[in-house]
């Protein structure tokens, strides 16, 4: 049995959940058994009704103790579900939260952890995966023994199609002392209602050359037009123009969208580490020697304050056509 932990926003399954199901099905074909799912937390009962179209059984962990996320709780729930399902492999999204609890789960299960994987497969009693390392500069092939915990890098895997109706089974998990040690005092949602940076297929990042916090309104407008997410460079975060959650780079988030716009971004190595696996990279910069142009598919040498408004108009025309 393979267990897939299915991320959701309280109403809908996230893309990461459906990427996880695809991976879990592939592993189940090689290792035998079926795919079970787990939904945890706020709104889990409702989401389970949607999740059961994808897996043979959905375990639901919910209730007042599970309204807020902590890594300790999610690891405990996943461990309980893995034991209930007799799962030898647990698949989860490699979101920031996913990567914080899967490490704990691997310790609980005494399992091999294959983290942030691009692909994964099984042969015999081993699981294999590919991932990036060395700031995204190296492609690495890894092998792990069973049991294993595998996290799936966002935007790497086809989304699963529904495959019949599974059953829903509530799972009672008691909080122990450890899980009570973290109390969430306040949640600050900075990208509420919009696509998350790590899952977005379009990312529009502004650099220091944008010149001001106000200039990011243009970036937001452009990102909204394309259904994308806004990113920012370290210099922009340091200047206090944008929140930390939007930082792309070595000390921020790693993104791998279909198309990445680097606007007024010079392209330091630390920034490249966060975006260099984007499928198509577009840059606008007034400095023709900016390092970002070496990493660019399509670039414009010019002033972003003149080029970006024109890009917005062109996209509006395109969408209107």
Partner 1 sequence: MKYVAIIRQVPDGESKIKVDGGRVNLEGATLILDQMDEYAVEQIIRLKEAHGGEAVVVAFGPERTEEAMRTALAMGANRGVLVTAEGYVDPVTQAGALAKVLAEEAPDAVFTGGQQADWDSQALGAAVAEALGWPSVTWTTAFELEDGHAKATHDLDEGAEVVRVALPAVFTTQQGLNEPRYPTLPGIMKAKKKEIKKIDAAELGVSGSKVEILEQTIMELERKGKIIDGTKEPAAAAAELIKLLHEEAKVL
Site for partner 1 in 219-258 (CB under 8 A): 226, 234, 237, 243-245, 247, 250-252, 254, 258
183 contacts 174 by C-beta, under 8 angstroms: no
Dig out the tokens for 284 from the structure: 């606008």
Dig out the tokens for 124 from the structure: 């015999």
Closer residue to partner 1, CB minimum distance, 170 or 176 = 176
Shortest Å distance, C-beta 266 to partner 1? 14
Binding range to partner 1, per CB under 8 A, among 24-32, 55-63, 91-99, 212-220? 91-99
Determine whether the annotation assigns residue 142 to a binding site: no
109 contacts 30 by C-beta, under 8 angstroms: no
CA distance 171 to 10: 18
Burial-class residue 108 by CB neighbours within 10 Å (0-12, 13-18, 19+).
middle
Site size with partner 1, rule: CB under 8 A: 101
CA distance 90 to 149: 5
Shortest Å distance, C-beta 128 to partner 1? 8
Q: Is 294 in the site for partner 1 (CB under 8 A)?
A: yes
Binding range to partner 1, per CB under 8 A, among 23-31, 59-67, 204-212, 286-294? 286-294
Q: Please pick, from the candidates 113, 204, 232, 275, the single residue that binds partner 1 as defined by CB under 8 A.
A: 113
- Alpha helices of 1-117 — where are they, by DSSP H? 15-31, 44-51, 71-85, 96-109
Q: Please pick, from the candidates 30, 139, 165, 213, the single residue that binds partner 1 as defined by CB under 8 A.
A: 139
Determine whether the annotation assigns residue 37 to a binding site: no
Closer residue to partner 1, CB minimum distance, 165 or 244 = 244
Strand, coil or helix: what is 137?
coil
142 contacts 7 by C-beta, under 8 angstroms: no
The residues in 140-199 that bind partner 1, with binding defined as CB under 8 A, are 140-145, 178, 181-192, 196-198
Determine whether the annotation assigns residue 208 to a binding site: yes
Q: Please pick, from the candidates 38, 71, 87, 122, the single residue that binds partner 1 as defined by CB under 8 A.
A: 71
CA distance 177 to 320: 57
Determine whether the annotation assigns residue 96 to a binding site: no
Q: Please pick, from the candidates 63, 119, 135, 235, the single residue that binds partner 1 as defined by CB under 8 A.
A: 135
Determine whether the annotation assigns residue 258 to a binding site: no
- C-alpha angle 167/170/172, rounded to 5°? 155
**Measured CA distances, 302 to 284, 293, 319 (Å):** 7, 12, 24
Shortest Å distance, C-beta 15 to partner 1? 12
Binding positions are 208, 233-234, 247-251, 285
Q: Binding site for FAD, residues? A: 208, 233-234, 247-251, 285
């Amino acid at each position: 049995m393979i267990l897939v932990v299915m991320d959701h926003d309280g109403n809908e399954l996230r893309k990461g959940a459906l990427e996880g199901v695809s991976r879990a099905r592939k592993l189940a074909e090689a290792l035998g058994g079926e795919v079970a799912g787990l939904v945890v937390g706020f709104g889990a009962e409702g989401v389970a009704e949607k999740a059961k179209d994808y897996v043979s059984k959905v375990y639901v962990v919910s209730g007042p103790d599970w309204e807020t996320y902590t890594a300790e709780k999610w690891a405990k729930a996943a461990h309980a579900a893995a034991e209930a399902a007799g799962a030898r492999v647990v698949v989860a999204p490699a979101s920031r939260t996913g990567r914080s609890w899967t490490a704990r789960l691997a310790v609980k299960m005494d399992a091999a952890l294959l983290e942030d994987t691009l692909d994964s497969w099984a042969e015999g009693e081993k699981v294999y995966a590919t991932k990036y390392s060395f700031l995204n500069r190296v492609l690495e092939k890894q092998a792990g023994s069973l049991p294993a915990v595998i996290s799936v890098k966002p935007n790497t895997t086809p989304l699963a199609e529904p495959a019949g109706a599974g059953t829903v089974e509530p799972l009672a998990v008691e909080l122990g002392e450890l899980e009570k040690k973290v109390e969430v005092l306040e949640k600050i949602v900075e990208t509420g209602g919009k696509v998350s940076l790590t899952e977005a297929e379009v990312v529009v990042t502004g650099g220091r050359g944008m010149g001001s916090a106000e200039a990011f309104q243009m970036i937001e407008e452009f990102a909204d037009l394309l259904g994308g997410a806004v990113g920012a460079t370290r210099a922009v975060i340091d200047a206090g123009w944008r929140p930390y959650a939007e930082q792309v780079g070595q000390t921020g988030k790693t993104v791998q969208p279909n198309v990445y716009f680097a606007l007024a971004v010079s392209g330091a190595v630390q920034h490249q580490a966060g975006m260099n696996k984007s499928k198509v990279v577009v840059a606008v910069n007034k400095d023709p020697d900016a390092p970002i142009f070496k990493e660019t598919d399509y670039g414009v040498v010019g002033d972003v304050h003149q080029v970006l408004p024109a890009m917005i108009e062109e996209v509006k025309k395109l969408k209107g056509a």
